[in-house]
Structure 1
Amino acid sequence: MSCLKFAFEDLLGVLCFGASMNGMFLRDKFGAGAYGRLAAAELAVPHPMVIVIGSFIASAGAGMQCLTGAPRLLQAIALDGVIPMLHYFQKSTKRGEPLRAIFVSIAICELFILIAFLESITALISQFFLMCYLSVNAACVLQSVLKAPSWRPRFRFYHWSLSMFGAALCVAVMFMSHWIFACVAIIIGMIAYKYIEYRGAEKEWGDGIRGLRLAAASYALTNLEEGPVHTKNWRPQLLVLCTVSSDRTSIENEQIVAFASQLKAGKGLTVLASVLNGKFLNMLAEVAATKMIMKEVCRRMKIRGFCEVLVAGDVTEGMSALVQTSGLGGLKHNTVIMSWPQKWRNGNFEAVKFVETIRLTTAAKSALVVIKDVQQFPSNKEKIVGCMDVWWILHDGGIMILLAFLLRQNRVWRNTKLRIFTVCQSEEDLDKVRESMKTFIYHLRMDATVDVVCLTKYDISEYAHELTLKREQRQKMLDQLGLTDRQKDIDVDNAISNSTSGVQSGAELPVQNRTNLLALDNLFKNDKTNERNEAVSNAAAEQCEEEKLPITSAQTYNIRCLQRAKKLNEAIQSRSRESDLIFLNLPDPGRNGYEKFYMEYIEVMTTGLNRVVLIKGTGSEVVTIFS
């Protein structure tokens, strides 16, 4: 009621003045039109001095009010801690007087009084008052829109539109009175808010912008569909499995985190996760320390992501839980990054855990990126100059080409040269496959050189060939992508020929009916034709002995598998021995019981190679030729 009363009186005074004298006198700022006298004083009863005395008392009273109220307001802001640099003004005298704040207020007042022309700053002061009212109204609107549980206005008929109208009026008056000062006041207010946000000050009244972000994030996640992503929108959403040192002071092999940060050109989700072995109730301090270390590494690596720590009685079960449940709704990982276990020969546990993780990611329909010899990978401060080679043996969607492209966007790998090697089974088709690959890379708009390596089907039998899709199935998939007829022609004509390369092409298409890679139990099992095996076993054993390859059991270990791995390794070394980074397809581990054989095969295949990244795709992660 008091607000309505004073508003009515002020409006009534404006109307009375307007009805009592000519507008020329009202607009005469210094009274020149009334011979130096105040126009309002001429209307006073019984004498014009009444207005002069009243104006003096009102001005003095307002000044004294500001002089007594401003120091306490300054002290209150300092006590809130929203601006840490004001902590000096928190102290007060024994009688509770903010003496330091009073002296500062007096100094500010005297400084502006010395100007001797207060009209030059009154517009700016008015802007600050209007900014205060604007902030209050905007905060009321924000709390009403967010429907915060703590927002409970007493006014029964309150509606957020009233606060919105008040905020709009404040902005309008600010720019109508002095638009330059209005811009200055808004800039100062924004700087103050960003400073408070930067210093992380949070009091019991909370942060309205944080609530707005939370509401926006909740709305976006709710409307984000949980389903396959269109090929043009696919990007790596990373789940990085890392290990923290036993003393909880650092992350073992931080290069794996650096590698993930170097992929941030994909603008996807990044989650750092670690599994602790034990019982959660007994490891609360370890969990907090581990998460703190991971957040510090993220800050240092400039990764904008999340950190998760899971305590489980079994590490493998913990990784299974992370792979299955990490993420929220449609915002979840589609690519898992982990390092190659260096000590897998010291017992069977490391090999089993690693192979089980491969099976978990495959079952979860996530791509897997394995970094071998992670200690050799560069930090974010290094710059690599050399070659980055992609050995595209199994065309499982093009994730290797996409990751190589994203890495080259980072300053660490920007000066490397991208080379793509694909496989052909017949020397007669080398030129045809090479031209098809060059055309395909041209349509991908990537700067890369292409080469074709001739390897027989026997040499790469550890990689299963993709099932050839029928033309009707392929046409149906293209229709689902919503491509034009011209785009479909480009896709069919310029992709690598399935008949010449022996592996599925069309990297931009998700292949739903892809077969699993040849199981390792078929690679390592004893051939029924023992006579043919015995003919080559002796020579192969001698060769493996020269290479010092460990053979655990001659009855279950197929020597020919190591021969093929060695031949594939020789083909890779002949072209990529000096390369700074090599991408290779990761075969499927097959059934249980052959974990060490599988690990040995990978070791032989990558012997003598510098910085190897093994990738196992699902077929849904794609690199497309269409924007």
Structure 2
Amino acid sequence: MSVRGQFFFIHQLYKKNVVIYWLTNQNSSNASLTGEQKGQAASRNALSMFPIFVAIQKVFVDPLAGKQLEKKPVCIFQMEHYASVRGEHVNPVFEASKDDPPHYDDGFSGNGYSNAEHRDLRPSVVSAFGHNTLDRAPNIDFYRNAGSVSGHRAIRPSLQELHDMFQKVSVNLSPATELGASLLITEKGGFVKFGWIKGVLVRCMLNIWGVMLFIRLSWVFGQAGLGVVIVLLSIVVTSVTCLSMSAICTNGVVRGGGAYYLISRSLGPEFGGSIGLIFAFANAVAVAMYVVGFAETVVDLLEENNAIMVDQQNDIRIVGCITVVLLLGISVAGMEWEAKAQIFLLIILLVAIANVFIGTVIPATKDKNSKGFFNYHESIISENFLPEFRDGETFFSVFAIFFPAATGILAGANISGDLKDPQAALPKGTLLAIFITGITYLGVALCVIVRDATGNLNDTIVEGMSCNFSAACDFGYDFSACATKKCSFGLMNNFQVMTMVSGFGPLIIAGTFSATLSSALASLVSAPKVFQALCKDNIYQGLKFFAKGHGKNNEPIRGYVLTFIIAVAFILIAELNTIAPIISNFFLASYALINFSCFHASYAKSPGWRPAYKYYNMWLSLFGALLCCVVMFVINWWAALLTYGIELLLYIYVTVKKPDVNWGSSTQAVTFISAVNNTLVLSGVDEHVKNFRPQCIVLTGAPKTRPALLDLAHSLTKNYGLFQPLSAHQGSRTDKLQELNTNLESHQAWLRSNKRKAFYAAVASDSLRNGSLSFLQAAGLGRLKPNTLMIGFKRDWRAAGAAAIQGYVGILHDAFDFEYGTVVLRISQGLDISHVIKANGKLTFSKYSKMLCVLHHHPSLGEPFRPFLEGLTCTFLLSGPATLPQSAEMAKVNQRLVDASTQFQKKIGKGTIDVWWLFDDGGLTLLLPYILTTRKKWKDCKLRVFIAGQPGRIQQDKEEMESLLKKFRIKYAEISVVSDVSVRPSSESMKVFEDMIEPFRLHEGTKEMAQAESLRKDSPWKISDAELETFEEKTNLQIRLNELLQESSRAAKLIIVSMPIARKESVPDHLYMAWLDILTKNLPPTLLIRGNHKSVLTFYS
């Protein structure tokens, strides 16, 4: 079976959801094997000559019920990679689907295979060091992107595969990805690739030598004079832009997309997406401009021969539409035809330009003299040197009309995907094109024709007649009549001056046709290519339709049709001087961003900015960007504002949509530098109470499993403070390392997708406390570090073991030790919904989880396959529906849990946030609820403040608190002074507490001394009678507070209570947990808060 046939067959299986396993065999020396082993090795090595496949039935088993669920076909493929040049055998990367990594000691590795067989079973390479190793030498294939058309993407062995023994590591590359990359390779030979001359130089020259060269350049020089400042300014703008473009395109492999690709990969999708649309549109309009220029010449010929069809303007429209249809046909035919047409047109154009220079030195005839042509003379040069703007034209209005004649410099970049070596071709070809065309423009300054001429052979000077009108007087001609009436000849009046000056007029007409048609053809190809690249990146999802290509060159047929429609619309304007300024603005905006991209990338000083082209300067690029912007506004300020307004709207759109792309732009690099610099500056500034803001470490575990904790913390820190959800993976570091690394990115991505502005962190530790302790000590950078710990209340503390309680309470002690503010959230229904997520979702093992399956002697395999399968292994994927049945009651409980856990995601209705500020902790207990009231979701809630007061001075305590809150500028709805906090709790409440701690008491007072000592030794964590008596008052306070909370705050949307503190090594952990439990029992969502007793509020300015 051919390679293409193999891939086609696999692709069909993949579409039918058949699981495909890739097994790669490796040729190795058989010198040391026995005869039987050699036979087995030969069977295995035979697989490297062709792929085999075996269809078996894969059995899915419910791991909980032990029942067979379903059967699905599995296909086992043995594939071998070959070098693309000489068909040599190439070792692929480490196959994670195999068993454990090999070790190359003598003997067996413990799994039944010898070392020699290990080398057969998994890929290895005989390196320059003389032994087989999984390590790979540096190779370009390791650095390719997925789907690279220039070579197969390889994956080097991971650090874990080389470092960890018996570590089973999955490779995150699906068969589809491998298949896609390989298919691209097989098609590579069909692409048409151009060198720097045909692909860049020819294309750029043809695009620059456009419509202006033959039918507007004379008018430009007539208006602006021979100071040629306009030409020089255009050359400066394009040359600086070319230097910037050269630096960008030599900083890595350049793909199709031209200016869009360069800008988007440098500045990011926001800038690239906005300029990509504008640049593609500008090229589409440029097609119309060049076609209208061609049509003008054709209509002039028709007029000379009295063959006008309708009238001059409508004839331009008719000829233009017919022309653009023919050009579309050439473009759709493919790049090969287009390239051949460009070469043919270039030859005609070069002959026409040479014809002009030859004609200027041929002595002028009387007829040409009457039309203002007198060959080279000093008086004509002097007269034409200074500008003479007429008909309301200015320097910049004339520049706006001429500038499109210099805008073809990106013609090569626009087809960068069709170049053999864009990095070398673009700088060389584009700079040479600018140099050649610039010299041409300056050379064709036409110092041989006067500005005005009548074309009348009788307007000669007779003897005795005075003439002071122009330099023509020196040659015996009087064109003074042009001062009172409009003449038809001269630089200012005749757009076909080049034809008259040339040695052979029809060649200039052919040159005009060549210049206009070649530029139109280049623009007609460029616009769809740029637009297709933009659509492929899916920055604007509605434009995905235009991303599809056709044929071996991936031609954007749909883009051609759209460009054709835009071109026809502007051809109908039929006025060259109206179309040209529109294009000038768009091209200048593109050039400004290309220059700014180069400056920005240099300014960011990213190690990834290493352009091979060194002849650029970041400040020169910035000058070029500013020059383009200034010229835009001077040409036409309202058009410039409109252009940048459109760019701004597109930029905002892309920013809001946040396309899922990551191109390593310089914007990211500058953001990183700014973050580092600002952090360093911040670390040199002393903390001040006015700048305090909560910066939270939140012990959420996996973020999605405790949404209430996550949402409340997000509300406290949103946009203004640091928020770090923390997950402590408990267990052996070696066992948890892969899980930690795998989940890190996925959890951060989940936070981003759910618009939670947080920095997810994870630690691997033997216990929750040790993991948290590590993070509490080391989290943060300088002043940018957490100051508040948030944790959920351990609802199942009574069922947990002593070690778990000790660890939980220990976390609170550690937070106090390191002077963190501490916040504990309790919701009656609980916080953890992980079991609900697992039960309601598909209980599916990871796609890359492995279960060893020995294929040999499998009953479903035919006899012919057994010799080939000796010693080979495959992996099973255990998947399929495994939803657990739930009782109706359990479903209701889970639903209540989910509703309670997501309550902070919705807007909180009108109500109160009750703040029980019982102890002065620096103000954190008051500041956090105030911050909540500033959030949109909580803005309808009012603050009610409760404080403890002494009987007899209730009013005084209330006035003092009112004064304090007024100075703090914190709005409140009500202040209540609670004077009966010290009242003994009711017997019912006491009974609840006693029942709560009963399982954790020693009751040593009712036992003999020896027995009591034994109990204390066996269960040191239990609560003794002495400890219970010592902390009786504090215990009663918590019970009494719960009664008061039940009376006053039962209807609150959120309750904030000062958190009691347990002295270390004094209060038993279970007693402390009982305090927290009884204090918050049967209440709405409650936050226990204790600041670090440093002021976070101030009333000073």
TM-score norm. by structure 2 comes to: 0.44
**Contact 2:535/2:547, CA 8 A, preserved across alignment:** yes
Instruction: Using the aligned pairs only, state the percent identity.
Output: 25
Letter matched to residue 433 of structure 1:
D
Aligned to 1:583: 1056
Structure 2 CA distance for partners of 1:586 and 1:117, relative to 1, 3 Å? same
Kindly provide the CA deviation profile for residues 482-502 of structure 1, in whole angstroms up to 9, marking residues without a partner as x. xxxxxxxxxxxxxxxxxxxxx
1:44 is matched with which residue: 484, 490, 501? 501
**Contact 2:968/2:1099, CA 8 A, preserved across alignment:** yes
1:343 is matched with which residue: 773, 778, 796? 796
- For residues 438 and 573 of structure 2, the distance between their equivalents in structure 1, rounded to whole angstroms, comes to 33
**Contact 2:604/2:666, CA 8 A, preserved across alignment:** no
Aligned to 2:151: none
The structure number with the bigger radius of gyration is: 2
Instruction: Give unmatched runs, 5+ long, in structure 2.
Output: 1-430, 454-468, 471-481, 830-899, 1004-1024
Q: Displacement, 1:299? A: 4.5
Structure 2 CA distance for partners of 1:19 and 1:315, relative to 1, 3 Å? farther
Letter matched to residue 65 of structure 1:
A
Greater mean deviation of Cα atoms: 308-317 or 372-381: 372-381
Aligned to 2:709: 256
Structure 2 CA distance for partners of 1:110 and 1:160, relative to 1, 3 Å? same
2:1080 is matched with which residue: 591, 598, 606? 606
Structure 2 CA distance for partners of 1:585 and 1:88, relative to 1, 3 Å? same
Letter matched to residue 602 of structure 2:
S
Greater mean deviation of Cα atoms: 306-315 or 575-584: 575-584
- For residues 1076 and 534 of structure 2, the distance between their equivalents in structure 1, rounded to whole angstroms, comes to 64
1:396 is matched with which residue: 921, 945, 949? 921
Partner-residue secondary structure (3-state), 1:209: helix
Kindly provide the CA deviation profile for residues 127-179 of structure 1, in whole angstroms up to 9, marking residues without a partner as x. 22212211211111011111222333455553211111111111122222233
Structure 2 CA distance for partners of 1:442 and 1:11, relative to 1, 3 Å? farther
1:420 aligned onto 2:945: yes
Greater mean deviation of Cα atoms: 415-424 or 164-173: 415-424
Aligned to 1:331: 784
Aligned to 1:529: none
Partner-residue secondary structure (3-state), 1:427: coil
**Contact 2:550/2:557, CA 8 A, preserved across alignment:** yes
Aligned to 1:464: none
Letter matched to residue 521 of structure 2:
M
Residue pairs, 1:89-488, within 5 angstroms: 89-94=547-552, 98-154=556-612, 156=614, 158-193=616-651, 198=657, 200=659, 202=661, 206-225=664-683, 229-244=687-702, 251-264=704-717, 267-283=720-736, 286-287=739-740, 290-291=743-744, 294-295=747-748, 298-299=751-752, 302-346=755-799, 347-373=801-827, 375=829, 376=900, 378-424=903-949, 426-448=950-972, 449-454=974-979, 459=982
Q: Displacement, 1:301? A: 5.4
Structure 2 CA distance for partners of 1:606 and 1:117, relative to 1, 3 Å? same
Kindly provide the CA deviation profile for residues 518-543 of structure 1, in whole angstroms up to 9, marking residues without a partner as x. xxxxxxxxxxxxxxxxxx9xx98995
Aligned to 2:303: none
- For residues 542 and 128 of structure 1, the distance between their equivalents in structure 2, rounded to whole angstroms, comes to 78
Structure 2 CA distance for partners of 1:398 and 1:69, relative to 1, 3 Å? closer
Structure 2 CA distance for partners of 1:607 and 1:127, relative to 1, 3 Å? same
- For residues 509 and 517 of structure 2, the distance between their equivalents in structure 1, rounded to whole angstroms, comes to 12
Partner-residue secondary structure (3-state), 2:1074: helix
Q: Displacement, 1:251? A: 3.1
Letter matched to residue 338 of structure 1:
I
- For residues 992 and 538 of structure 2, the distance between their equivalents in structure 1, rounded to whole angstroms, comes to 72
**Contact 1:237/1:333, CA 8 A, preserved across alignment:** yes
Greater mean deviation of Cα atoms: 587-596 or 150-159: 150-159
Q: Which runs of 4+ in 1 moved over 6 A?
A: 22-25, 47-50, 539-542
Aligned to 1:482: none
Structure 2 CA distance for partners of 1:431 and 1:11, relative to 1, 3 Å? farther
- For residues 316 and 404 of structure 1, the distance between their equivalents in structure 2, rounded to whole angstroms, comes to 28
Aligned to 2:1002: 553
Letter matched to residue 368 of structure 1:
T
- For residues 63 and 332 of structure 1, the distance between their equivalents in structure 2, rounded to whole angstroms, comes to 59
Greater mean deviation of Cα atoms: 385-394 or 602-611: 602-611
Structure 2 CA distance for partners of 1:402 and 1:101, relative to 1, 3 Å? same
- For residues 118 and 542 of structure 1, the distance between their equivalents in structure 2, rounded to whole angstroms, comes to 92
**Contact 2:532/2:546, CA 8 A, preserved across alignment:** no
**Contact 1:340/1:374, CA 8 A, preserved across alignment:** no
**Contact 1:265/1:406, CA 8 A, preserved across alignment:** no
Q: Displacement, 1:402? A: 0.8
Partner-residue secondary structure (3-state), 2:904: coil
Aligned to 2:1090: 616
- For residues 107 and 545 of structure 1, the distance between their equivalents in structure 2, rounded to whole angstroms, comes to 81
Q: Displacement, 1:439? A: 1.2
Structure 2 CA distance for partners of 1:95 and 1:41, relative to 1, 3 Å? closer
Partner-residue secondary structure (3-state), 1:37: coil
Letter matched to residue 968 of structure 2:
L
Letter matched to residue 558 of structure 1:
L
- For residues 964 and 701 of structure 2, the distance between their equivalents in structure 1, rounded to whole angstroms, comes to 40
Kindly provide the CA deviation profile for residues 441-474 of structure 1, in whole angstroms up to 9, marking residues without a partner as x. 1222222222323368xx49xxxxxxxxxxxxxx
**Contact 2:828/2:1083, CA 8 A, preserved across alignment:** no
- For residues 353 and 34 of structure 1, the distance between their equivalents in structure 2, rounded to whole angstroms, comes to 98
Q: Displacement, 1:369? A: 0.6
Structure 2 CA distance for partners of 1:196 and 1:385, relative to 1, 3 Å? closer
Letter matched to residue 602 of structure 1:
L
Aligned to 1:525: none
Kindly provide the CA deviation profile for residues 252-286 of structure 1, in whole angstroms up to 9, marking residues without a partner as x. 33111121122246721211111111345444564
Kindly provide the CA deviation profile for residues 174-199 of structure 1, in whole angstroms up to 9, marking residues without a partner as x. 22223333233334444555566645
Structure 2 CA distance for partners of 1:415 and 1:111, relative to 1, 3 Å? closer
Greater mean deviation of Cα atoms: 374-383 or 121-130: 374-383
1:569 aligned onto 2:1042: yes
Letter matched to residue 443 of structure 1:
K
RMSD: 3.7
Count of residue pairs the alignment pairs up:
536
Letter matched to residue 63 of structure 1:
A
Kindly provide the CA deviation profile for residues 568-591 of structure 1, in whole angstroms up to 9, marking residues without a partner as x. 434444433443322222222222
- For residues 954 and 554 of structure 2, the distance between their equivalents in structure 1, rounded to whole angstroms, comes to 90
Q: Displacement, 1:595? A: 0.3
**Contact 1:251/1:293, CA 8 A, preserved across alignment:** no
- For residues 578 and 961 of structure 2, the distance between their equivalents in structure 1, rounded to whole angstroms, comes to 72
Structure 2 CA distance for partners of 1:616 and 1:113, relative to 1, 3 Å? same
Q: Displacement, 1:58? A: 1.8
Aligned to 2:441: 10
Letter matched to residue 995 of structure 2:
K
Letter matched to residue 349 of structure 1:
A
Q: Displacement, 1:88? A: 4.2
1:597 is matched with which residue: 1071, 1077, 1087? 1071
Partner-residue secondary structure (3-state), 2:916: strand
Q: Displacement, 1:326? A: 2.5
**Contact 1:262/1:380, CA 8 A, preserved across alignment:** no
Letter matched to residue 413 of structure 1:
W
